[in-house]
Amino acid sequence: MVKGAQLYEGKAKKVFATDDPEKLIVSYKDDATAFNGLKKGTIRGKGAINNTMSNALMRLLESKGVPTHLVGELDERNTVVKRVTIIPLEVIVRNVSAGSFAKNYGVEEGIVFPAPTIEFSYKNDALADPLINEYHALALGLASAGEIETIKRYAFAVNDELKAFWAGCGVTLVDFKLEFGRLADGTVVLADEISPDTCRLWDSATGKKLDKDRFRRDLGGTEEAYREIMDRLKANMEAIK
């Protein structure tokens, strides 16, 4: 596969064309941002970790019937994906209170919910990704009613599978953000990434944060935490292969 022109540079990844119009190459960077780009930094080794982890988790999800954009890993930081049009919704699933949920609703972090929650943000940097509901998404023409139903079904299926996988690694899946895209024929597939940048992952025994909150909140030990969560995943890769 030939890496062609750079089409796009995001906060954590670059996207390149290939010789196949239906395929792109995603290249993961060590750059990290938070608070809609206000805070900037580097997490050494993150690009390679997020690439490997996201691909492993997407392979697991594919095997459980959730379609994804993944085609195949090229090398440590580069992956071939199907070209999609991203649906501009950040789909957030939560099992335990944390982050903006705790802040917005005035509760402490760490409350285990009786059932998972789902919410949507309108993916729009200029507006700082405002929280919206399904009616707003329809009104704004971001997705059809059928697509929203599909997205919810896949998001809860992803939660079931990832929660179980991480539990086997001694890790609690607190919450995560997904993005979906449309293939040329309109099929909705899981896109973007699933990594410590986009999930809250807490050690089940100690509660230690093994995710990007270490960077967001200046907790220290961010690079070590990324390596630790990657080691946990690697030790359980057999469950995925």
Nearer to ligand TMP, 99 or 116 (CB): 99
Q: Which segments of 76-212 does DSSP mark as H helices, in order? A: 99-105, 134-139, 145-168
128: region left, alpha or beta (phi > 0 left; psi from -120 to 50 alpha): left
**By CB under 6 A, is residue 175 in contact with ligand TMP?**
yes
The DSSP secondary-structure symbol of 127 reads G
**By CB under 6 A, is residue 214 in contact with ligand TMP?**
no
**Maximum distance among all Cα pairs of the chain, rounded to whole angstroms:** 51
Q: Which of 177, 180, 191, 210 binds ligand TMP (CB under 6 A)?
A: 177
Q: Which of 199, 229, 230, 233 binds ligand TMP (CB under 6 A)?
A: 199
Nearer to ligand TMP, 18 or 179 (CB): 179
Residue numbers 60-89 binding ligand TMP by CB under 6 A: none
Find the radius of gyration of the CA atoms of the chain: 17
Q: Which of 101, 154, 166, 226 binds ligand TMP (CB under 6 A)?
A: 101
**By CB under 6 A, is residue 176 in contact with ligand TMP?**
yes
- Name the segment binding ligand TMP (CB under 6 A); options: 41-49, 58-66, 135-143, 172-180: 172-180
Q: Which residues of 94-103 are buried (b: 16+ CB within 10 A; e: fewer)?
A: bbbbbbebbe
Number of residues located near ligand TMP, criterion CB under 6 A: 11
Nearer to ligand TMP, 147 or 193 (CB): 193
Measured from the CB of residue 133, what is the shortest distance to ligand TMP in angstroms?
15
**By CB under 6 A, is residue 192 in contact with ligand TMP?**
no
62 exposure class (CB count in 10 Å sphere: 0-12, 13-18, 19+): middle
The DSSP secondary-structure symbol of 12 reads S
Instruction: Find the Cα–Cα–Cα–Cα dihedral 42, 47, 50, 53, rounded to 10°.
Output: -140
Q: State the residues that interact with ligand TMP by CB under 6 A.
A: 92, 98-101, 175-177, 198-200
